[in-house]
Amino acid sequence: MDDTGQGRWCQTEGQTTVTVLTNDTSISLRESGCCWVSNVNGKTNWTTYAELNVGTRSDTHVLNNCPVTTTVSSLRVPQNCFSEYHLLAHDPDGDHVRCYVVSQANVSSNVTLNETTCTLMSTGEVDVGLHVFEIEVEDFPAESINLTYKDGASEVWEPSDMSPPLCKLSLQFTLEVLAEIPDCEAGHVLPKFLSSTPSHGSVLSATVGQTFHLMAEAQAHHASINDFQISGPLNMSKEFTDEAHGKAKIALSWTPEDSDVHRVVPVCFTAETNESQSDMRCVVVTVSEASVLQGKVSVHCLSKKMVVAIEKASIPDIDENFLRLKDDSCTLTSNSTHIIGKTPFSGCGTHLEDKGGFITFKNVIRSIVLPTEIISRRRTVKIDFSCQFPKAMSISSSFKLEDSDYVFTESSFGSFGYSFNIYSNNSFTNKVDPSAYPVEVKMLDMVYMGIKAESELPNVKLFVESCKATPDDDPDNSIFYDLIKNGCLQDETVTVYSSDETTFNFEVQAFKFSGDYNQVYITCSVILCEPESPFSRCAQGCQVDAARRRRRSFSRETESHQIIQGPLQFAWQDGHSAAVENNNFNAAVENHDTPAEVVPPPVSSDTRSSREDWKDKEDFSTNVSSGGTNISTIFFACSFLASLVSLAAVVGHFTRKRKAEDCKALIGSDQKN
């Protein structure tokens, strides 16, 4: 019910029954009608669609479960506070979910959708008004499975988004962009959820015949929370409580019926004020039969593992010897009061999910049936538990990647890092100490560099897609030189050394950029892959034609990340020699061996101070010449001849020096081109 008095839309729920023929491999549903509420997209009629493959999965032995998604009926956000909106996209089978805007949707050019995380993001100002969004949600198997149909036929489905989805369905909703507000900080005018509220994407459990309870609490210091908007199952009730200090609370209650068993139900909610709305939180409620016990547990999230403790009193008459984690090889321990399980984030069947701003590790404790048992009289146990970490948290408090200068977090790869170092030789054992930066090199010397990947997962492969040089630490500088591009070596002096799967060691001959540049930075784009995946970027290797590269497979590789090293700074030994010789030249001037009117040739910046010394000597020579009235004409003639000899030597020296510099500049230009 809409209790706000503002005439907002509400939701309803219905059921559709479909008859599946024996030779059907899929079923589809389509519905359309009128009308969308008045909107900036000019949409009038709506059309929704769903399609499901009806093959029995080899991993679950049942039909595929479609992704679970929904939104509340009315989404609102102030124009200046629209940065990103997390939508629900949960798959009960653990498949990979992709979201994308349908081709005929007329979406603002300043709004994009992250297909992997199903997150709406603004890239610029979005017009005030009501915007219509029509999104398709699809699922793809995380690993190879067989699908068997009623007529006996079967087929293999690979974990690739290049295959048809197992299920496709529509998510359609409106988002109203409101006028700007003075402050976008959550908890000021915009309500923010407090820590007692479940996290977005949490999976909760309910039992048939037992009342399920969900509590949410929000706060807005400078606005009044007057309601919570709810999207949930039919017959879910809510109780709103207005509290002090701008806080408000809602208690949701729902009692699943027999027809709800095995349902996976989305529940979304927002905290409402007259001026704004909180972000949308969504959880998933799985409904099980009454015979499945849900014990009382406590979970401790440590740096590399989860520790779960189950109260024995909450699961009476259960033998711990018949309890396992998701991976059957991982056993549990116990004491007099608790059953204890320990699982690393990269083992015992722990599953990782990317929740936009959070990363969640999930596992389950369940009862097993021994292969030798014909019958069983033990009650079934299923206890889900998880740990959630914000992506922006200090890495030292969650993952120990001590040697990594760059740390990233992604779905299916957890937290991983890269170190990028310069080494003293091609053994790649002695790193250049950070105190020695900028690293001084000589022209045409060999420079030894190494990239090392570190991951919580035990089996990953490093791929260096590109490396380029720039004259500063801006990788987008228009002045650059490719060393590696699309996985292919571009510079003939680059040599890659053999190493393990997570190390990339290479050498390159030192060079400089033409012009007034004396430093070089190296930026590389790196990817982690699952080594056994034939569809990953690592498996493709060098791709001269980038357009021919296959599309990125779901969770078979990470995004490409940039890491940078430098600067390399050039030691100009030639310049130092010139400065010394120029000082000798100045001494000759001081001894009046050179006429005052001779101007020295141009010198480099390293010899600028010597040039200023030359000017002082020139003035001194002029004074001596004008004041020497008793010096004979013969002396001047001899002095003039000696000066010509000295001048010829000096001019010859600087001519050779300039040619050498031009030659080096040409080398740098050729390598760049």
568-621 pLDDT, tens digit each: 888 754 443 333 333 333 333 333 333 333 333 333 333 333 333 333 333 333
User: What does residue 234 show for φ and ψ, rounded to 5 degrees?
Assistant: -55, 140
Q: What distance in Å separates the CA atoms of residue 633 and residue 638, rounded to the nearest whole number?
A: 9
Average pLDDT of the residues in 45-58? 90
Which of 393, 390, 401, 309 shows the shortest CA–CA distance to 357?
Answer: 390
Percent of the chain with pLDDT over 70: 72
H-run or E-run covering 580: helix 573-590
Q: Give residue 295's region: left, alpha or beta (phi > 0; psi -120 to 50).
A: beta
Pairing of strands 439-441, 561-570: parallel
Does residue 349 contact residue 385 with C-beta atoms inside 8 Å? no
> Is residue 495 classed as helix, strand or coil in its secondary structure?
strand
Cα 619 from chain centroid? 65
The partner residues of 266 in beta bridges, in order of sequence, read 284
Q: What distance in Å separates the CA atoms of residue 63 and residue 329, rounded to the nearest whole number?
A: 27
Counts for the chain of helices (H) and strands (E), in that order? 4, 39
pTM over 0.85? The answer is no
Distances (CA, A) of 650 to 116, 585, 653: 68, 8, 5
What is the biggest distance separating any 2 CA atoms in the chain, rounded to whole angstroms?
Answer: 130
H-run or E-run covering 573: helix 573-590
- For residue 4, what pLDDT is reported? 58
Task: Name which residue leads in pLDDT, 22 or 520.
Answer: 520
Confidence of residue 108 (pLDDT cuts 50, 70, 90): confident
pLDDT higher than 70, residue 635? no
H-run or E-run covering 544: none
- For residue 579, what pLDDT is reported? 36
Q: What distance in Å separates the CA atoms of residue 403 and residue 381, rounded to the nearest whole number?
A: 42
Q: Please, what is the angle between helix 608-627 and helix 573-590, to 10°?
A: 10
Cβ atoms within 10 Å, residue 226? 16
pLDDT higher than 50, residue 485? yes
Q: What distance in Å separates the CA atoms of residue 460 and residue 104, rounded to the nearest whole number?
A: 39
Torsion of CA 124, 126, 131, 132, to 10 degrees: -20
pLDDT in tens, 305-323: 788 888 887 776 677 777 8
Average pLDDT of the residues in 400-419? 65
Cβ atoms within 10 Å, residue 99? 21
- For residue 336, what pLDDT is reported? 82
Task: Name which residue leads in pLDDT, 269 or 591.
Answer: 269
Q: What distance in Å separates the CA atoms of residue 24 and residue 52, rounded to the nearest whole number?
A: 11
Q: Comparing 86-100, 249-263, 410-424, which segment has the lowest mean pLDDT?
A: 410-424
> How much is the mean pLDDT over the chain?
77
- For residue 427, what pLDDT is reported? 93
> What residue type is assigned to position 190 of the chain?
L
Which of 385, 396, 291 shows the shortest CA–CA distance to 340?
Answer: 385
Cα 557 from chain centroid? 12
**One-letter-per-residue 3-state SS of 136-171:** EEEEECCCCEEEECCCCCEEEECCCCCCCCCEEEEE
Q: Comparing 50-64, 101-115, 416-430, 577-591, which segment has the lowest mean pLDDT?
A: 577-591
Task: Name which residue leads in pLDDT, 584 or 73.
Answer: 73
Q: Which residues contact 531 (CB under 8 A, 6 or more apart)?
A: 459, 460, 461, 501, 538
> Could you give the strand order of the β-sheet that contains 488-489, starting from the edge strand earlier in sequence?
439-441, 561-570, 519-529, 461-470, 481-485, 488-489
pLDDT higher than 80, residue 433? yes
Does residue 365 contact residue 331 with C-beta atoms inside 8 Å? no
- For residue 357, what pLDDT is reported? 52
- For residue 425, what pLDDT is reported? 92
Pairing of strands 227-231, 264-272: antiparallel
Q: Comparing 128-137, 425-434, 620-629, 660-669, which segment has the lowest mean pLDDT?
A: 620-629
- For residue 464, what pLDDT is reported? 94
pLDDT higher than 70, residue 412? no
Q: Comparing 205-214, 244-253, 282-291, 385-394, which segment has the lowest mean pLDDT?
A: 385-394
For residue 124, the 8-state DSSP code is S
pLDDT in tens, 164-216: 899 999 999 999 999 999 888 888 899 999 878 888 888 888 888 889 999 99
User: What does residue 444 show for φ and ψ, rounded to 5 degrees?
Assistant: 75, 0
Q: What distance in Å separates the CA atoms of residue 333 and residue 330, rounded to the nearest whole number?
A: 10
Contacts 24+ apart (CB under 8 A), 222-225: 222/183, 222/188, 222/189, 222/246, 223/188, 223/189, 223/190, 223/191, 223/273, 223/274, 223/275, 223/276, 224/273, 224/274, 225/191, 225/271, 225/272, 225/273
Task: Name which residue leads in pLDDT, 456 or 149.
Answer: 149
Rg (CA), the chain: 36
Confidence of residue 266 (pLDDT cuts 50, 70, 90): very high
Percent of the chain with pLDDT over 90: 29
Contacts 24+ apart (CB under 8 A), 332-338: 332/365, 337/311, 337/312, 337/313, 338/309, 338/310, 338/311, 338/312
pLDDT in tens, 374-401: 655 556 677 788 877 654 433 333 334 4
Which of 271, 274, 269, 217 shows the shortest CA–CA distance to 244?
Answer: 217
Confidence of residue 646 (pLDDT cuts 50, 70, 90): low
Task: Name which residue leads in pLDDT, 109 or 394.
Answer: 109
- For residue 165, what pLDDT is reported? 92
Q: What distance in Å separates the CA atoms of residue 193 and residue 466, rounded to the nearest whole number?
A: 42
Domains in the chain, CATH or no CATH each: 1-180 (2.60.40.10), 297-396 (2.60.40.3210), 401-570 (2.60.40.4100), 573-672 (no CATH)
Burial of 158 (0-12, 13-18, 19+ CB in 10 A): middle
Q: Comparing 55-59, 175-179, 309-313, 630-634, which segment has the lowest mean pLDDT?
A: 630-634
